[in-house]
Structure 1
Amino acid sequence: MLAVHAGVTIAGEAHTPRALIELLQHTPCDVLVTDLSMPDADGVPEDDLALIRRLRRDWPQLRIVAVTTLTNPSILRAVVADDAVSALSKAESMDALWQAIEASANGARYLGRSIVDVLACPRNDERATPQTVRLSWRETAIIKRLVSGQSIAEIAEALGCHRRTVSRQKRAAMAKLGVTHNPGLFSRLYACGILEIDSHI
């Protein structure tokens, strides 16, 4: 439907985070429309915040329109903390998607009605009481690198260890935080103030 819209040229399509990164490396693009939870080659969803942060780090001029079913205020606040990222729900119309693309192309940000409604929720309603969580220095380093958008392979290379070691330490940190998947991990980190949103990360 976008392909037949006046003023739009589809530069390319990707179905996994890795394919998206490879495509962007050689395909000029002004506005990227992406799902927040793209599956990787193994069918496991890539963490939403990690992908967005990596895209913003490596392509700072790229405007992003994130389309999602997420309703977690903490995650959505983290996603739209960057003015270059627009967001709307998958339940919204194609007209809303076009408005988001047009606004992004013009350097503005668009937030869908449902996203605005979620972000209007009082912060106190979403914040759990922070519990004392003791992460090792290695677990903390890995979590911080995940937040910055680095992949397991990139973290392993940076820390000089095997990918399995990074994955094991990540699982240990998740167990201590009481979560079982990446969206839950990032929601827990931000909602409980364990890691603050930092535009420089």
Structure 2
Amino acid sequence: MVELAKTPCDVLVTDFAMPEPGPDALDGLRLIRRVRQEWPSIKIVVLTSVSNVAILRSILNAGAIGLVNKAEAIELVATAVRHAGIDRRYVSGSFVTALAEAGAETESSPEEPRLSPREEEVVRLFAKGRTITEIAKALNRDVRTISRQKRDAMNKLGIRNDPGLFAFVRAQGLG
């Protein structure tokens, strides 16, 4: 963040997950949100190998204008930067496909699905390592209800498995 304050730029290219060199280091969604807040005119291009649709959607919702898959050709970074320079969104082909399969828009700002308060509560507890049975007991609900709420939340987010749900919760800072 110090470099951005010292060096004016039009486009910031960043990796989604960078090793944290210090206690104040930012990456992922926290970095994108902070840049959007402090330097709203800077366009953000994010490089990532993440394939979790919910996280990809969150990256775009947080304010990234470019989203490049690290597994695709490196030349796509330059393409994304050129698009950002003319205020046009660029999303790698593989991500476009994944977002389209999940029903997420890529041209306009994709709207993040809203979880109900109960779904969010179940997801948070599950991400903290609680089992469905433990959550049901703690919330005084039926196991089938908790299971359905978890499944509904995952469907809304476009997440297909538990590791994907854990990754989403970690990326969002919900856990």
Q: TM-score range by the shorter chain?
A: 0.5 to 0.7
Among residues 96, 99, 115, which one is paired with 2:95 in the alignment? Answer: 115
Equivalents in 1 of 2:86, 2:121: separation in Å? 43
User: Percent same amino acid among aligned pairs?
Assistant: 31
- SS of the equivalent of 2:101 reads coil
Per the TM alignment, residue 40 of structure 1 is displaced from its structure 2 partner at its CA by 1.1
Instruction: Note the alpha carbon deviations across 1:147-191, whole angstroms, 9 max, x for none.
Output: xxxxxxxxxxxxxxxxxxxxxxxx9995267899x844256789x
Q: Which residue of 2 aligns with 1:106?
A: 86
Cα distance between partner residues in 1 of 2:20 and 2:31: 11
For structure 2, the residue ranges without an aligned partner over 5 or more in a row are 104-112, 132-161
Match for residue 133 of structure 1 among 116, 121, 140: 121
Q: 1:77 to 1:97 in 2, by over 3 A?
A: same
TM-score normalised to structure 2 length: 0.60
Is the aligned partner of 1:81 residue 2:61? yes
Q: CA deviation at 1:97?
A: 1.2
The unaligned stretches of length 5 or more in structure 1 are 1-20, 135-170, 191-201
Deviation, 1:85, is: 2.0
Q: 1:40 to 1:68 in 2, by over 3 A?
A: same
Residue 51 (structure 1) aligned with residue 31 (structure 2): yes
**Equivalent pair of 2:46/2:64 in contact (CA under 8 Å):** no
Shift of 1:122: 2.6
1:175 aligned to 2:163? no
Structure 1 runs of 4+ with >3 Å offset: 127-132, 171-174, 176-180, 186-190
How far apart are 1:119 and its partner, in Å?
Answer: 0.7
The residue that corresponds to 1:60 in the other structure is 40
More helix by share: 2
- Aligned residue identity for 1:37: A
Question: For the residues of structure 2 that align with 1:132 and 1:55, how far apart are their CA atoms?
Answer: 27
2:169 to 174, 181, 185: 185
Question: How many residues are treated as equivalent by the alignment?
Answer: 132
TM-score, normalised on structure 1?
0.53
